[in-house]
Structure 1
C-alpha cells in the first residue's frame, strides 16, 4: 500500500495532497476579509482560538471562476509555522497512492507546473500532486 493522499478538485482538475501535510479538514462558516491582502488570500477564519489564513486555491493558480456550489470543507496545512485553510472546489476522499509520483506533463501549463510535485496514480485515477508551500505562496507577480 502506498502513502495516503487527500484527493480534492481544483479548477475541475483532480489534485492530491500528501496526507501528512494535512492537519485537519475544517468547515468554513465565516471568512473575514483582510484589507490590502493579495487577491488569492480570501481572508481569515478561526479554528480553536487560532487564526487561519484562508487561501483561495483557484486564485493562487490564477484560474478563472468559482466552483458551483463551493465546498465549505477546507484542508488545513502548516507552512513556515503559519496555519492556512485551503479553499478547493471539492474535498473528495483519502486514498492510497499507487506508485511514486511521475514528472508532470508539459500540458499542465505554468500555473499548475509551479505547484506540482508530479502526477500520482490512485484508484480514482491520476491526480496532480500539490506542493503545499508553492500553493500557499500564490501566483508569482511580475516586478513593478
Structure 2
C-alpha cells in the first residue's frame, strides 16, 4: 500500500508525517506564550478565530528550544480531533513510499526521540524518520494550551 508523506527538517534531521493528518502549512507567525505549559509548548496562535496550540518540535524531541525566524514554518495537524501546530525549520516535499518499506526505529540511543518515531524509511538516498503524531501528543499537556 502507498503512503504519502510530507518531509520537513528539524534541527538538521529529516522527518515526515502522513499527509492525511496535515491540514495546512503556514508561514511562521509569532506565538503567544502561555503560563504553566510544558517547555515544548511554544504558545498559541490565532488560526481564523480558533486558538491553535503550537509545539516546538525540536524541544519536544529533546533537542532544545527553537529560536524561530521568518524562515520557519508551522505545520497544522489534526490529532485526536484537535488541531495543533508544529514548529519546523523548513518543509521539503511530498514523497510516496510503500508501507512495507517502513522499518522499526532502533532500540538503542536517542531514548527521548524513539517513542515518537513510527519508523524509518530510506527515501531518495536519505534516512527519514516518520513521526508518530498521536505519540507526540499523548499527554494532555497540549490540550491545556488550547
The TM-score by the shorter chain falls in which range?
A: 0.7 to 0.9
Q: How does 1:68-107 map to 2 (within 5 A)?
A: 71-98=71-98, 99-107=100-108
Q: 2-side partners of 1:108 and 1:134: how far apart?
A: 18
Instruction: Tell me which residue corresponds to 1:141.
Output: none
Point out the structure with the larger strand share: 2
1:40 Cα deviation after fit = 0.5
Q: What CA deviation, in whole Å up to 9, does each residue of 1:58-91 have, x standing for no partner?
A: 1111113536857432111112222111011221
Q: Check 1:68–1:41 CA distance in 2 against 1; reply closer, same or farther (3 A cut).
A: closer
Instruction: Tell me which residue corresponds to 2:142.
Output: none
Which segments of 5 or more consecutive residues in structure 1 lack a partner in the other structure? 139-144
| Residue aligned with 1:23, SS | strand
Q: 2-side partners of 1:127 and 1:70: how far apart?
A: 25
Instruction: Tell me which residue corresponds to 1:134.
Output: 135
After superposing the two structures, state which structure 1 stretch, 119-128 or 79-88, moved more.
Answer: 119-128
Q: 1-side partners of 2:9 and 2:70: how far apart?
A: 11
Contact 1:76 1:85 in 2 (8 A): yes
User: TM-score, normalising length from structure 1?
Assistant: 0.83
After superposing the two structures, state which structure 1 stretch, 95-104 or 85-94, moved more.
Answer: 95-104
Instruction: Tell me which residue corresponds to 1:31.
Output: 31
Q: 2-side partners of 1:50 and 1:68: how far apart?
A: 22
- Count of equivalent residues: 138
Runs of 4+ in 1 over 4 A off after TM superposition: 67-70
After superposing the two structures, state which structure 1 stretch, 52-61 or 20-29, moved more.
Answer: 20-29
1:116 paired to 2:117: yes
